[in-house]
Each structure stands twice: as structure tokens, then as C-alpha cells.
Structure 1
Amino acid sequence: MAGPTIDFWQSRFESGQTPWERESASPQLQAWLAQGTIQAGERVIVPGCGGGWEVAALAAHGARVSGIDYAPGALARTVSRLEPSGLQADLEKADVLHWQPTAPVDAVYEQTCLCALHPDHWIRYASQLHAWLRPGGRLLALFMQMHRDSASQGMVEGPPYHCDINAMRALFPAQQWEWPKPPFSAVAHPSGAFELPVVLVRR
């Protein structure tokens, strides 16, 4: 498998080397919740849920949320985030490239999973996201903008991997997804990079 392994991610969670975490839910998720982009009672998947901040925020909002991660350390952190507040979520130890929900869901919150996957796996992952959602379901995506000078020499470096917006348009084509009109506002990231928030609607 190209890119980071389960052991790579597990070691990060065990050692506490998780600089991508904000120690709170993403401000963009909080804005989407405040705007009603996700409603209480809707089924939402958080792939690559990591430390669980967004899972907890969605659960507190009343969503029926499923957090997916294949690193046991990530799920342990998510449990520790939920339990003190008595919040409920379905947690699955699984590979997002192969896992399937029991039925299509209303929304997927995609923040740090795509940019953590080697680009060799992006087509498979995009197909998974499309299959997980019901027609009219929403993909709430934060596309990581991690520009590196080495890209001009053809190097592919990460994680996080740079989610160029042209590549995202090819990965999530208009035949399958309804795109909003740009420009998209930049969301600052703890890494020093930024993310482009986009809500795509599954056709």
C-alpha cells in the first residue's frame, strides 16, 4: 500500500504526535452546524476521525454520527472525547477504502482523511464517498492546500498531501457532484497551511 501505514498512524497517536489536531472541532464545522448545513437526526460519517473532536461536535448537535478509523489509538481518543459528556456515536475500526455503511447516509464530513491518503488511493476513496451518500447527500469537504516547491519537480510528498483544486474537480466530477461557485474562503490549519471548505452535493 502506497503512503502511510496503520503502524505509522498508531505510533503518532500513542506518542501524542498529532500536530494536525486543533484540540477543538474545526471552526468550519462549527460554522456549518450553526448554518444548519447538517440537521439533528441526520446520519453523518466522519472518515479518518482521528482524535474525535468533530465526532463529538456532531453528536452534541444531535446527528447520528459514525466515526471510522483503522488506528486503535485514534478510536481510543474519540471514546475519551465522547464519554465525559455522555455523547453517543458509532465507532468503527475499519479501512475507509473498503468499509461500507449499512445504508446510504445524509452527509460525510471529510477533513483530514483525503489528505492523509496517498494520491494512489484517491480514486478509490472518492468512489467510496459517492457510494456512502444517498442522492442529494452532502460531502462537507475541507481540501488541504499544502503547497511544496518539490511539486514542480514531480515529487509527491505527504502526509498531508496537497489537494489541488484542479485535481479535486477531476476527482469529484460535475457529472457526479454538484459544485458551488468559487471563490472558496481559506480556513487556517494548525500545520501552517490552509483548507478550502466546499460542500458538494451527490447527484
Structure 2
Amino acid sequence: MDLSADFWNNKYKNNKIGWDIGEVSPPLKAYFDQLEDKEVKILIPGGGNSHEAEYVFKSGFKNVFVVDVSQIALENIKKRIPTFPDAQLIFANFFDLEATFDLVIEQTFFCAINPDLRSKYVIKMHSILKPKGKLVGLLFDAILNDHHPPFGGNKNEYLQYFQPYFEIKKMEACYNSYPNRQGMELFVQFLK
């Protein structure tokens, strides 16, 4: 299964971006709205067009970083938000990141990578979070596709991956999902 930069760039070129809801996801917006520390260093991996990055940046959070293998996705962010710092739009593979963060936002990245990389994702996530850092976001609680993203999963599977590395603060059915994702998402909050 080829999930390379070319694969993702072609998705953007051909506007085959069904995961992109065109706005900040309601559960994440609610989470961001209660954050008080505007200095927190935030990463959005596999951020794509990253309406989440746009929302937090325009809300006064200046330490927001997006990493993506699609140069087109990063250029789309820059076109929408010309003042977004270039150095915070990282054209790279998430697994090659060296920096550390206080908060990582999960939004359709875990379901986009090859499921064989899920254990590696958890280990990498643990390594890039600062002590007491948080991984917060949404995971699909649904059977989706076997041979192409998005790949689904369920709570029991996720617990097996994350429990050895994180304190599970929250993993529950999402009550405020975007309409076409109602009943299909878990809101998660994991503490390193």
C-alpha cells in the first residue's frame, strides 16, 4: 500500500479529500476554546489543510506546528493564512520529527497511516511529547476500509496500543461530532 507524498499530493490535486470537512472539527473547537495557555507548543501531524491549525492560530496560539508529507496541503494553509510562520509548516514525515511538543492534536492522521505503523505511531508520539504532554483528538470508532485510508478501529484495539505509554484520561464516544461522523468517533485525551 503506497501512502507516499505522491499519493497524498494526488489527493489534493484531484480534490479527493473527503476527510476535509472545511472547518475546525466541533469537538476540537470545543477543546481549544477551553485552553488558557496561549504559549503551549502544539503539533498537528498529517494536518492536511488543517482548519484546526488555522483556528488556534487565529485564536492567539502562536506556537502551532503542522507536519505533512504533502507540500500542496502546506501551501494551502499558507494561502489561507499568509501570516502563518513558514518554519511552523513542516514538510516532512511525522516519523522523522525531532522536536518536542506540549500538545499533539489527532485529527484523521492515525486513520490515514498504514495500520502496520500504529505501534510505531504510539512510540513516536510518546517520544515527541514533553513530560506531562498530551495527545488529544479524535479516533474513528468504526469499521472502515481494509485497503486504503481511512482505516478504522475500536476502543479495545486503541487501548492495547496506548495504555502501555499513556495515562488514558478520556476515551469516550464523541457527543458533538461533525454531522457525517456522528456515532463514529471517540474523543481521546492521553497524558504522557
Provide TM-score, normalisation by structure 2: 0.89
Structure 1 runs, 4 residues or longer, greater than 4 Å off:
189-193
Amino acid at match of 2:54: A
Q: In structure 1, the residue corresponding to 2:81 is in which secondary structure?
A: helix
Q: 1:81 to 1:7 in 2, by over 3 A?
A: same
Question: Secondary structure of 1:179's partner?
Answer: strand
1:115 matched to 2:111? The reply is yes
Following the alignment from structure 2 to structure 1, what is the Cα–Cα distance between the partners of residues 160 and 24?
A: 29
Note if contact 2:103-2:129 (Cα within 8 Å) is conserved in structure 1.
yes
1:58 is displaced (CA, Å) by 1.7
- Structure 2 counterpart of 1:139: 135
Partner of 1:179: 168
Question: What residue number does 1:31 align with?
Answer: 30
The residue identity in structure 2 corresponding to 1:163 is G
Distance 1:50 1:162 in 2: 19
| Residue matched to 1:57 | 55
* SS at structure 1 position matched to 2:29: helix
Q: What is the CA distance between 1:82 and its match in structure 2?
A: 1.3
Partner of 1:22: 21
Letter in 2 for 1:135: P
User: Is residue 70 of structure 2 the alignment partner of residue 80 of structure 1?
Assistant: no
Amino acid at match of 2:132: G
In the superposition, relative to structure 1, how do residues 105 and 55 fare at CA in structure 2: closer, same or farther (>3 Å)? same
Distance 2:56 2:170 in 1: 26
Q: CA deviation at 1:137?
A: 0.8
User: Per the alignment, do residues 178 and 189 of structure 1 end up closer, same or farther by CA in structure 2, a change over 3 Å counting?
Assistant: farther
Question: Shift in Å at residue 78 of structure 1?
Answer: 1.3
Count of residues in correspondence between the two structures: 189
> Structure 1 CA distance, aligned partners of 2:137 and 2:182?
19
CA contact (8 A) 1:50 1:74 kept: yes
Shift in Å, 1:27:
0.8
TM-score (norm 1): 0.84
Alignment of 1:118-197 (within 5 A): 118-148=114-144, 156-173=146-163, 175-180=164-169, 183-186=172-175, 187-188=177-178, 190=180, 194-197=184-187
RMSD of equivalent CA atoms: 2.1
Residue 127 of structure 2 aligns to a residue whose secondary structure is helix
In 2: Cα distance, 1:16 partner to 1:91 partner: 21
